[in-house]
Amino acid sequence: MIAPSLKLSAWVEGPLTRVYPFSIKPDQKLTVENIFTIHRDNYEGTEFDLTKGLAAGAFNCPYRFEGQAESVADKEGRMTSLKGEFERPLNIYRCVYAYVNQSRSWLPDAIGGLTWFGPDRPSTAVLMPFYVGATNLPMSVQRADIFELDRKSMWTAFNFVANYAMLKYSYMIKDIQSVRDQFEAQAFGKQTELEAKALKLWEKGDRAGARALLSRYSDNNANAVLNKWWKLADQLYIKYNDGYLNTKAGVAQAVFYPVWWLKQVGYEKGPVSYKKPRND
C-alpha cells in the first residue's frame, strides 16, 4: 500500500522468509491519514479481500470470528477438525483501539507531539487528536466496561455501532464513513490554526494557557464525537429496522439479498412447490 513500486509478492516460502526487506522507503511521504488507512484495510481489491465471498455474507462484512470455547469443540479444545484459516487483517473485530503518533521537532514537545486515537476497530473509528501538552484526557476516553452499556463511554459507543453494523455492513458502513469523514476533515482542517494559537501563547511564556487551549479543544471535540456517535447508533437502528430501509422516501423499503449469495445458499431450491426437492 505504501510502496507498490517494490512489487512485493504476497506469496513466500514460509513465515521466516527473507524475500521481504527489513524496512522499506515509502514511494511518497506519508500522512497520518495514510497510516490509519493501513489500519482500516480489509485487503480490499486483492485476492484476499475480506469483503468478498460467502464468508462475508450477503452484505460484505469483513469480520471473521475466532474462538475456542464452543460446545462443538473436541476434547483438545479445538473448534473443528477442519484444517484452515481466515486471513487476519489489522482491522480485526476485537481491536480495542488504534492510534497514530505524530511528532514534529520544530514545535515545542507539548504542541508538536500528539496521538490520533481511534476507539474500537479502525474502520468504524473516528481519529481524535490528543496532545502531549494536555493536562488531562476526556472522561469518556478513560472509562469503559465490557459488562455495561455506558453511554458516557467513548469505547462503548463505537463498539456498539461497529457491532450493529455487522447486520448490513455494506449499507451501514457508508453511513458510518459519512459521519466519520466529517469529524476527521474538521480535525485535520483545524490543526494548523489551533497549533498556531497554542504556539503563540507558548512563546509569550503562557505555557499553562497553551496547555489549557489544547486540552479544551480535545475535550470539546471528544464530547461532540461521543454525542454524535450515540445519535448515529439510534439512526442506524431506525434506518435499517427489521432488515428494511426506512427513510423519508418510504418505510419498509425492501433490501433483498444479492443474486450470487442466493445461489450459494440454495435459494433456488427453496419451497417453490409442494414436491420434495431432489438432492442432485
Q: What is the pLDDT of residue 80?
A: 61
Q: Is residue 14 part of a domain?
A: no
Q: What is the pLDDT of residue 84?
A: 74
pLDDT in tens, the chain (280 residues): 999 999 999 999 998 999 899 999 999 999 999 999 999 999 999 999 999 999 999 999 999 987 654 445 566 666 666 667 888 899 999 999 999 999 999 999 999 999 999 999 999 999 999 999 999 999 999 999 999 999 999 999 999 999 999 999 999 999 999 999 999 999 999 999 999 999 999 999 999 999 999 999 999 999 999 999 999 999 999 999 999 999 999 999 999 999 999 999 989 888 888 887 677 6
Q: Is residue 50 part of a domain?
A: no
Q: Is residue 8 part of a domain?
A: no
Residue 156 has which C-alpha cell? 462503548
How far is Cα 10 from Cα 68, in angstroms, rounded to an integer?
28
Angle between helices 32-40 and 169-203 (to 10 degrees): 150
Q: Is residue 141 part of a domain?
A: yes
Note whether 211 and 134 are within 8 A (CB).
yes
Q: Is residue 266 part of a domain?
A: no
Q: What is the pLDDT of residue 280?
A: 62
The owner of cell 455487522 is: 166
Q: Is residue 39 part of a domain?
A: no
List the domain range (segments joined by +) for residue 122. 97-243
Note whether 221 and 127 are within 8 A (CB).
no
Q: What SS3 state is found at 174?
A: helix
Q: What SS3 state is found at 251?
A: strand
Q: What is the pLDDT of residue 75?
A: 61
Q: Is residue 31 part of a domain?
A: no
- Total domains in the fold of the chain: 1
φ and ψ at residue 115, rounded to 5 degrees: -110, 130
How far is Cα 13 from Cα 242, in angstroms, rounded to an integer?
48
Q: Is residue 16 part of a domain?
A: no
The owner of cell 494536555 is: 134
Residue 263 has which C-alpha cell? 445461489
Neighbours of 85 (CB within 10 A): 7
CA dihedral 219, 224, 229, 234 (to 10 degrees): 140
